Structure 1
Amino acid sequence: MSVDWCGGWQAGAVNPVVAQVLTIVGVLLGSVATFVFTSAAERTRWRRAQAARWDDKRLLAYSEYGEAVKQMVRLCRRIAETKGLLSTGRDVDLDSSLDALAEAETVRAARWETVLLLGEPATIAAARAWSEQVWGLEQILRDSHPEASSFLDAYRRAMRLRNEFYDRARLDLGISSGPLPALTWKSLQPMPPAGKPQLPEAEGGQGDRPTG
């Protein structure tokens, strides 16, 4: 404010010091707001990058573990075919195949540690259930006189647990295309002349033999 020559106060004039202080305060507030906004945006970008990074690592952990267990299942199939429990495939050397199965279990155990470290609890539980069922297949095959029906039942359950593992993994990774098709089987095929029962075929002409 300023004094007019008539002795009154003239409104509207601002003290230069006050104006300077207000300007500085405005600049400071603007700087603080910019800093807060920029920091929040950077934190959001960092979290997204970290989430994508861990998703990639979980994808690798799940896929490598699935391949390790699948290798054990493949070997179990070959051994079962050789022992006359299945009618598909061709015979293999039992001793070398059992040795390979033990080596495959070592690989699976190593992959398991990464799943434990990065996996979501429900997916870890599904992975454990699948691998334990595959151990059951191996136990049946190491019996001196395994029964074909016992192996087939255990094999069916292993395939169901395999699907459950992949369903949980897909959910954990945010894959929203829906669950895997359910495994359904027709009745067992008649016993072939060689005495090897065939695997039950799934609807649509495909057996429950894992593909891919």
Structure 2
Amino acid sequence: MNPIIAQALTIAGVLLGSAATFVVTSTTERTRWRRAQSARWDDKRLLAYSEYANAVKPMVRLCRRIAETKGLLSTGEPVDLGSAFADLAEAETERAARWETVLLLGEPATISAARAWSEQVWRLEHILRDDQPDASAFIDAYRNAMRLRNEFYDRARTDLDITSGPLPELTWKSLQPQPPPPDHPTTP
């Protein structure tokens, strides 16, 4: 074989090997970078979703305490309504701040679920601000708020690729109809 052709084949082999190494290394690094970016954003979305849920939960709890004070539920200790509604306003401010991060980082279905949950909590507050709130309307709205909470968690878990199974079904004994008190015989 001609020495010039042999050298040209050697140079072509080196160039081809270098190009293949470059392509494989670039692809591997690009994949690694995308995976790291994805994990980074997953962590940020997890934080955004959990902080948002932790901001809405006090609002739900305050609504429940107000409902207990107004006699709509038979559990819990009464609270001062004025301070409870003031605390509810502060909790709404916190929720609104956390909402912005969910809007920025969240997946559209999760954002919709978060919005539906918040709107239902606002409905709870609206019912409670009535002078004579209807107990059945509150209980229905409360159950719906809990269902929407689970829907938010389901959407967030799907977005974060959490595959540990569905959330358990909600059962609230305190929201079940209470049996009438047993008749006590009167003594003569």
Q: What residue in structure 2 maps to residue 195 of structure 1?
A: none
> Residue 189 in 1 paired to residue 178 in 2?
yes
Q: What residue in structure 2 maps to residue 91 of structure 1?
A: 78
**Alignment deviations for residues 18-77 of structure 1 (CA, whole Å, 9 cap, x no partner):** 211211111111111100000000000001001101111111111111111111001111
The one of 5, 19, 27 equivalent to 2:6 is 19
Change (3 A) 1:67 1:191: farther
TM-score, normalised relative to structure 1: 0.81
Tell me which amino acid in the other structure corresponds to 1:76: C
Structure 1, unaligned runs of 5 or more: 1-13, 193-212
Residue 132 of structure 2: SS of its match in structure 1? coil
Q: Give the CA deviation at 1:189.
A: 0.9
Q: What residue in structure 1 maps to residue 131 of structure 2?
A: 144
Alignment of 1:109-188 (within 5 A): 109-184=96-171, 187-188=176-177
Residue 116 of structure 1: SS of its match in structure 2? helix
Q: Tell which has more relative contact order, 1 or 2 (C-alpha 8 A, sep 6+).
A: 2
What percent of counterpart residues are identical?
79
Q: For 1:125 and 1:115, locate their aligned partners in 2 and report how far apart those are by CA, in whole Å.
A: 10
Residue range with higher mean Cα deviation, 130-139 or 175-184: 175-184
**Alignment deviations for residues 150-194 of structure 1 (CA, whole Å, 9 cap, x no partner):** 1111111111111111111111111111111122467511367xx
> Residue 101 in 1 paired to residue 104 in 2?
no
- Please identify runs of 4+ aligned residues in structure 1 that moved more than 4 A: 184-187
Root-mean-square deviation (Å): 1.4
Q: For 2:118 and 2:31, locate their aligned partners in 1 and report how far apart those are by CA, in whole Å.
A: 38
Number of matched pairs: 179
Q: For 2:172 and 2:146, locate their aligned partners in 1 and report how far apart those are by CA, in whole Å.
A: 12
Q: For 2:114 and 2:106, locate their aligned partners in 1 and report how far apart those are by CA, in whole Å.
A: 10
TM-score, normalised relative to structure 2: 0.91
Q: What residue in structure 2 maps to residue 62 of structure 1?
A: 49
Q: What residue in structure 1 maps to residue 61 of structure 2?
A: 74
**Alignment deviations for residues 69-121 of structure 1 (CA, whole Å, 9 cap, x no partner):** 11100111111111111111111111111011001101111111111111111
Residue 146 of structure 1: SS of its match in structure 2? coil
